[in-house]
């Protein structure tokens, strides 16, 4: 893999990833850009002990531009974009409208509440452009190209984990307007959080309790139980297993685990990365054939936090969709949005059967 570093006109870092060592990418950004906002802040919810990211400057971010105005397409002679080069394979750059910033210096007087913790929103948000083809989907990539994306995730996880104060790295993709995507170009994001996220913290608590009571690793035992049951297994390879979880929250939900327990993407071997690329493309293509239109989805990597002294992390991917029928969406209403108590409309075993049959 070849990595080429560049600096955008406003000082943000960007990188090109190529599997061809001869690839030559443009690194000069000729635009005139204003500085990136440094106003991100964190406020601690005293009722839930959870950090909330405040980034009011994101109200002005780019929203569903036409193809000829897409900021993630390659630059041309008469139009400069976020990508200075006229072509690229995979590109990663700091978000122009970040939820977190390494330069955050918010106004401390903005919070007038003795019980609400406050600190600058120090962290980093990156955009990962999967391909220069505006009309492609991740599912359209070749296995070799998808493997390059995995390598880019690994590279960024390693680099961002070295930043002082960063506690967790989250690689993800939002796909589809129904999810709230504001740019149609195939891309994902990476958040480097200065805290352990509520979902991961809860997983830790449950896994720690399970270890104390049952003496085993919760994730490993969940995988073993699903493999033994078999009815929710979708794909199993030499290195990975994909299944619909027995207690799925979402209408379409698949969890993907490596059979060898690792904590983070960088720990995956070459063989495991190659195998994942093939399996993941298979899954995404099944998702898009489930109904008559491409399925909106969120693809979320759960990696162990930077500091995992209790060794509770188990790398896995959770892939899920809000579509519960050809023309129906799962909206988070009262029980889900207010109480986080999910009600599902589709049995996991039925979705597993349908995805297997595709």
pLDDT tens per residue across span 17-73: 999 999 999 999 999 999 999 999 999 999 999 999 999 999 988 888 998 999 999
Instruction: Name the domain boundary from 195, 227, 244.
Output: 195
In this structure, are 182 and 236 located in the same domain?
Answer: no
Instruction: Name the domain boundary from 132, 164, 195.
Output: 195
Q: What is the DSSP letter of 266?
A: G
Residue 1's contacts (CB-CB under 8 Å, 6 or more residues apart) are 17, 18, 19, 148, 151, 155
pLDDT tier at 197 (50, 70, 90 boundaries)?
very high
The token pair that represents 309 in the structure block: 């002294």
Number of domains in the chain: 2
What whole-number distance in Å separates Cα of residue 338 and Cα of residue 75?
Answer: 44
Whether residue 276 is predicted with pLDDT greater than 80 in this model: the reply is yes
In this structure, are 34 and 176 located in the same domain?
Answer: yes
In this structure, are 155 and 298 located in the same domain?
Answer: no
What whole-number distance in Å separates Cα of residue 72 and Cα of residue 256?
Answer: 28
**Mean of pLDDT over the chain:** 96
What whole-number distance in Å separates Cα of residue 325 and Cα of residue 25?
Answer: 43
In this structure, are 102 and 187 located in the same domain?
Answer: yes
In this structure, are 337 and 213 located in the same domain?
Answer: yes
Q: ∠ CA(332), CA(169), CA(221), 5° rounding?
A: 70
The token pair that represents 11 in the structure block: 């000082």
Burial 102-121 (b: 16+ CB within 10 A, else e): bebebeeeeeeeeeeeeebb
CATH number of the domain residue 62 falls in: 3.30.428.10
In this structure, are 167 and 256 located in the same domain?
Answer: no
Instruction: Name the domain boundary from 195, 224, 257.
Output: 195
In this structure, are 121 and 261 located in the same domain?
Answer: no
In this structure, are 203 and 90 located in the same domain?
Answer: no
Place of tokens 């352990």: 196
In this structure, are 203 and 344 located in the same domain?
Answer: yes
* Cα–Cα nearest to 151, from 284, 277, 285, 282: 277
Q: What residues are labeled active site?
A: 187
Taking residues 190-202, report their average pLDDT: 98
Q: Which domain holds residue 203?
A: 199-357
pTM of the model: 0.97
């Amino acid at each position: 893999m070849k990595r080429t570093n560049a600096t955008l006109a406003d000082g943000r870092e960007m990188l090109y990833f190529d599997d061809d060592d001869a690839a030559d990418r443009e690194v000069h950004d000729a635009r005139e850009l204003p500085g990136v906002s440094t106003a991100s802040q964190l406020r601690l919810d005293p009722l839930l002990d959870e950090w909330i990211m405040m980034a009011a400057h994101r109200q002005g971010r780019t929203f569903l531009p036409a193809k000829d105005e897409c900021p993630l397409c390659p630059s041309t002679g008469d139009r400069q974009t976020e990508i200075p080069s006229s072509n690229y394979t995979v590109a990663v750059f700091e978000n122009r409208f970040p939820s977190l910033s390494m330069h955050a210096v918010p106004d401390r007087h903005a919070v007038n509440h003795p019980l609400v913790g406050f600190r600058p929103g120090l962290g980093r948000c990156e955009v990962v452009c999967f391909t220069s083809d505006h009309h492609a989907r991740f599912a359209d990539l070749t296995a070799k190209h998808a493997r390059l994306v995995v390598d880019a995730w690994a590279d960024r996880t390693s680099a961002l984990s070295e930043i002082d104060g960063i506690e967790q790295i989250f690689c993800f993709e939002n796909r589809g307007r129904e999810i709230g995507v504001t740019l149609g170009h195939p891309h994902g994001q990476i958040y480097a959080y200065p805290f352990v996220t509520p979902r991961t913290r809860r997983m830790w608590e449950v896994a720690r309790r399970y270890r104390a009571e049952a003496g085993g690793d919760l994730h490993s035992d969940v995988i073993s139980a699903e493999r033994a049951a078999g009815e929710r297994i979708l794909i199993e390879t030499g290195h990975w297993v994909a299944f619909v979880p027995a207690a799925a929250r979402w209408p379409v939900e698949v969890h993907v685990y490596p059979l060898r327990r690792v904590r983070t993407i960088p720990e995956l071997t070459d063989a495991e990365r190659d195998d994942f690329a093939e399996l993941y493309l298979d899954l995404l293509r099944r998702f898009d054939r489930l109904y008559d239109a491409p399925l909106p989805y969120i693809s979320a990597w759960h990696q162990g936090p930077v500091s995992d002294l209790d060794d509770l992390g188990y790398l896995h991917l959770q892939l899920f969709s809000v579509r519960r029928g050809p023309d129906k969406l799962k909206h988070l209403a009262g029980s889900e949005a207010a109480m986080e108590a999910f009600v599902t409309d589709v049995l996991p075993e039925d979705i597993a059967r349908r995805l297997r049959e595709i």
